[in-house]
Amino acid sequence: MRKGAAAQVKELPTQTIGKQAKSDKDYSIYFQSPSLKDAKKRGKEEVSVRYESAIPDDMKTIGEGKRYLIRTYGCQMNEHDTEVMKGMLEDMGFEATEDKRDADVILLNTCAIRENAEDKVFGELGHLKTLKQEKPGLILGVCGCMSQEETVVNRIMQKHAFVDIIFGTHNIHRLPVLLKEAYFSKEMVVEVWSKEGDIIENLPKKREGMKAWVNIMYGCDKFCTYCIVPYTRGKERSRRPEDVLAEIRDLARQGFKEITLLGQNVNAYGKDFADISYTFGDLMDDVRKIDIPRIRFTTSHPRDFDDRLIEVLAKRGNLVEHIHLPVQSGSTEVLKRMSRKYSREHYLELVSKIKRAIPDVVLSTDIIVGFPGETEEQFEETMSLVREVRYDSAFTFIYSPRDGTPAAAMEDNVPDEVKKDRLKRLNDLMATISREQNELLRGQTVEVLVEGESKTNPDVLSGRTRTNKLVHFQGSKELAGRFVHVTITEPQTWLLKGELAVAQPAKVV
């Protein structure tokens, strides 16, 4: 185990620093720390698509007799990245464990969206330090979006020198090589590319259950002033349509019941293609023809939600009637300071278009309160927009600054007590509307995809409607993974309680 206040690290050859490796052979010994300055650059270099084996021959048995544990923080993209890392680890012979004391490799797959997420990770590192001292052979790694932040990597190197590996979102496919170096080196292995990553196909994935996530693109070019994602995930890079469709067809053959298409901004899909004209609406139209019962997507940006996409979603079929449409604020002035690139009026016009095309659509959203400069009148504009749109659910947050973003340099002049009061008022309003929306389903029979036992009561089954509403009901555990019809008997604020229906067919919600 390393000694001293700071980790000892190995350095890359000078000529490879800051450059994309053409292949894994270009790197031998690793230290490539993230740079916010480099991450802010949007280069014109071509992003290549690489089809290659993820596991080197000499790493295919290195995990035999060993176990791994991955702790995942953050969004569905992080969950999908974890599926890829699990797939690679198991292809190297590792087995999964939920007990950190049994683990030979522990990876923390991190989120950088909010300060609270970083606090959780550093708290967990504090707990793991003792385990590392008791078990020196344990390989401990930090990956994901936090690892793309220069200040975070410096903090880990200075205060958490017991960490063995740090790698970023662009380097996930390099896990076997980095793990090998960590096993045979007594020094910290750091590899975080601050430029854009290539698109790596054919990576193994370990998926569980009847639902699957499919990445269709990476990165974001919107540069909202509060958001660190464009710097941690890089510029927008779309997977080729043939690769996306082939993966979904394979999942259909495997019997998956629901697919969620993922991207930081899914409806910007295809805008970076130079050789073809193919949009997210075109992709959804092609996916619609594949034999998967349910297709979802997240997350969409209102600015890129075009008429073609609305036209395709209105065809329904396996395209569900639930759309997550982040608004962030109901005030045009606040939206301008956020650099959301749409106005309140544009957003409401988009909602009207969607509701005309899909009258029974269920909308959910993201909202930030207490953004720098937000006045009481501007917050009330958010409240009035929520009343007008009538979201069924919302992820609501108090603004917290992220180092390196433009908003972090703004005067954070909304007092904490005011932020907390606004969040409470918003959440109270959302609870009222959600309950009213759910009450409309009383006595209705709905289609539910059964996920398994409820997390709070093993005697109750839990599942989701097409519109992503949570349903609890009693039934045989053998129903897990199947579609059933449930009559809603007790609508509540955040879930629906019901009974297995005898009569068919179900109302599709």
Domain-located, residue 4:
no
**Contact between 298 and 266 (Cβ < 8 Å):** yes
pLDDT at 474: 95
pLDDT at 37: 64
Instruction: Give the C-alpha separation, 454 to 338, whole Å.
Output: 38
Instruction: Give the C-alpha separation, 198 to 235, whole Å.
Output: 11
Instruction: Give the C-alpha separation, 469 to 360, whole Å.
Output: 14
Q: What's this model's pTM, rounded to 2 decimal places?
A: 0.84
Q: What single-letter amino acid sits at 92?
A: M
Domain-located, residue 197:
no
228: domain CATH number?
A: 3.80.30.20
Secondary structure in 3-state letters for 58-118:
HHCCCCCCCEEEEEECCCHHHHHHHHHHHHHHHHCCCEECCCHHHCCEEEEEECCCCHHHH
Query: Residues 484, 367: one domain?
Result: no
Instruction: Give the C-alpha separation, 2 to 277, whole Å.
Output: 53
Enclosing domain of residue 461? 445-500
pLDDT at 197: 64
Domain boundary among 401, 424, 439: 439
Query: Residues 171, 298: one domain?
Result: no
Alpha-carbon distances, residue 412 vs 54, 105, 322, 420, 476 (angstroms): 45, 40, 34, 14, 53
Domain-located, residue 509:
no
Cα torsion angle, 395, 397, 399, 405, sign = negative
Domain-located, residue 8:
no
Query: Residues 297, 435: one domain?
Result: yes
Query: Residues 239, 159: one domain?
Result: no
Phi-psi region of 62 (alpha: psi -120 to 50; beta: other; left: phi over 0): alpha
Domain-located, residue 25:
yes
**Contact between 313 and 357 (Cβ < 8 Å):** yes
Query: Residues 358, 483: one domain?
Result: no
Domain boundary among 135, 158, 191: 191
Query: Residues 254, 340: one domain?
Result: yes
Domain boundary among 191, 225, 252: 191
Rg of the Cα atoms in the chain = 23
Query: Residues 461, 434: one domain?
Result: no
Query: Residues 157, 53: one domain?
Result: yes
DSSP for 249-282 reads HHHHHHT--EEEEE-TTGGGTTTT-SS----HHH
Q: Per residue of the chain (509 residues), what is the pLDDT tens digit?
A: 343 334 444 433 322 323 333 333 333 334 555 666 666 665 656 677 888 777 888 889 999 999 999 999 878 888 999 999 999 999 999 999 999 999 999 999 988 776 677 888 889 999 999 999 999 999 999 998 888 888 888 889 889 999 999 998 888 898 999 999 998 887 889 988 756 667 888 889 999 889 999 999 988 989 999 998 888 778 889 999 999 999 999 999 999 999 999 998 999 999 999 899 999 999 999 999 999 999 999 999 999 999 999 999 999 999 999 999 999 999 999 999 999 999 999 999 999 999 999 999 999 999 999 999 999 999 999 999 999 999 999 999 999 898 889 999 999 999 999 999 999 999 999 999 999 999 999 999 999 999 999 888 888 999 999 999 999 999 999 999 999 999 999 999 999 999 999 754 555 55
Domain count, the chain: 3
DSSP for 326-374 reads --B-S-HHHHHHHT-S--HHHHHHHHHHHHHHSTT-EEEEEEEES-TT-
449: domain CATH number?
A: 2.40.50.140
Q: What's the DSSP call for residue 45?
A: P
3-class DSSP assignment, residue 393: strand
Torsion of CA 348, 352, 354, 356, to 10 degrees: 180
Query: Residues 51, 170: one domain?
Result: yes
Q: Phi and psi dihedrals of 318, rounded to 5?
A: -85, 0
Domain-located, residue 9:
no
Query: Residues 155, 243: one domain?
Result: no
Structure tokens that stand for 241 in this block: 């349509």
43: domain CATH number?
A: 3.40.50.12160
Query: Residues 397, 261: one domain?
Result: yes
**Contact between 426 and 408 (Cβ < 8 Å):** no
Domain-located, residue 290:
yes
C-alpha 219, offset from chain centre: 11
Domain-located, residue 302:
yes
Query: Residues 329, 284: one domain?
Result: yes
pLDDT at 28: 35
Question: 299: cis peptide before it, omega within 30°?
Answer: yes
Alpha-carbon distances, residue 244 vs 34, 63, 173, 215, 240 (angstroms): 30, 30, 18, 8, 7
